[in-house]
Structure 1
Amino acid sequence: MLDKPVFNSILQVAIVVKNCDATVRKFADEYGIGPWSIYEFNPGTVNNMILRGQPDGYAMRLALADIGSTQFEIIEPKDDKSIYAEFIKEHGEGLHHIALGTSEDYDHAMKFFKAKGLGILQGGTWHDFTYTYLTTQDDLKFIAEMYNPPPNFQWPKPDAVYPPDK
């Protein structure tokens, strides 16, 4: 048994959808969730992209909004090879992953997962913010995401926002 838990917080809940903009409008207009910051992730905006443990590019449009201390993420795959596209093909739209905070730092957590034989499904580095999805589906019954933001990380200006500034 571990001395302390590997995870100590839920940082984000992510949903994969076919249309990011339509989903954001529904969340904001019908449920009051927002505002949303919308970003494009692709090989031109993200460095060190990894897919199934190998260097590879993929593209997505994502939207972020906070609900209390938890961030909601809506992701629309923009190609057919990301783990998001695979998920939609196999399961349809829905809950995709949960980002978890760790009791230790990112590097320590990654060593822990590697020692357990868990690999990287997908990842990359965006504005020095590293994100990694792990092969936790068999153990945890969901995909876990880990973050490694730089100290004092500030979110870049979004590509779009919803609702639009008035």
Structure 2
Amino acid sequence: MRLPELFHIGWVVRDCAAAQEELSRRLGAGPFRSAGDESRFDQALVYGKPTPFSLKIAFGVLGGVLIELLEPLDDRSPHAEFLAERGEGMHHLAYLVDDFDDRLAAARGSDLLIDGTGPGNPVRWVYLDGNATRGTVVELLERTPAAETLFGDFLALTGG
């Protein structure tokens, strides 16, 4: 599966505000824009089972690349599991794709870590388990006018 240009790198952190401050101070990252105090994912399936979870999310720029900071707000998400097992760090590579249905069909051979294609999601998205990609989770987001609107402020951070 040939992927388009990278949309963002997802980074799991213990404290979103502290990570923004440290990345800004140490590496010159920023500016950052928050997705709000809490992003709730009530319609997501985690390994095929309904599993609502919440995250604090912020997007920023690091060396011209959009990064997404993800702070788990409960213990139900794969992000919380990642944090408990590995600590803070890079969690996934994300791509906005035009041909989402075709890519999802091709990816069905892989385990879906998170399935965010349900009717309650403003943008259809999935996390592909990292077993097929040497441990790195791949996120596919459907590129639609709604996605462009939702992610427009974050895309503007990189001029994209």
Scaled by the length of structure 2, what TM-score is found? 0.79
Q: Which has the higher strand share?
A: 1
**Pairs aligned (count):** 147
Report the CA distance between 1:138 and its aligned residue.
2.0
Q: Assess if the C-alpha contact under 8 Å between 1:59 and 1:78 holds in 2.
A: yes
| C-alpha displacement of 1:49 | 1.5
Checking the alignment, whether the CA contact within 8 Å between 2:93 and 2:137 is kept in structure 1 is yes
In the alignment, what sits opposite 1:129? 123
Deviation at residue 31 of structure 1 after TM alignment? 2.5
Q: Alpha carbon RMSD of aligned pairs, Å?
A: 2.5
Q: Is the 8 A contact 1:123 1:133 kept in 2?
A: yes
Q: Superposed, which structure 2 residues align to 1:1-166 within 5 Å?
A: 5-39=1-35, 40-42=38-40, 46=41, 48-67=43-62, 70-102=65-97, 105-114=99-108, 117-124=109-116, 128-135=122-129, 137-141=130-134, 142-151=136-145, 153-155=148-150
Greater than 6 Å deviation, 4+ residue runs: none
Q: Which amino acid aligns with 1:80?
A: D
Kindly indicate whether the alpha-carbon contact (under 8 Å) linking 1:13 and 1:99 is maintained by their aligned counterparts in 2: yes
Unaligned stretches of 5+ residues in structure 2: 154-160
What amino acid is the match of 1:151?
P
Shift of 1:68: 6.5
Seq. identity, %: 26
More relative contact order, 1 or 2 (CA 8 Å, 6+ apart): 1
Question: Deviation string for 1:28-86 (max 9, x for gaps)?
Answer: 233321111112211xxx45222112222001101101346632011110111100010
Distance 1:145 1:155, change over 3 A: same
CA distance in 1, matches of 2:48, 2:34: 27
The alpha-carbon distance between structure 1 residues 156 and 72, as it changes in their structure 2 partners (threshold 3 A), is closer
Larger radius of gyration: 1
Gaps of 5+ in 1: 159-166
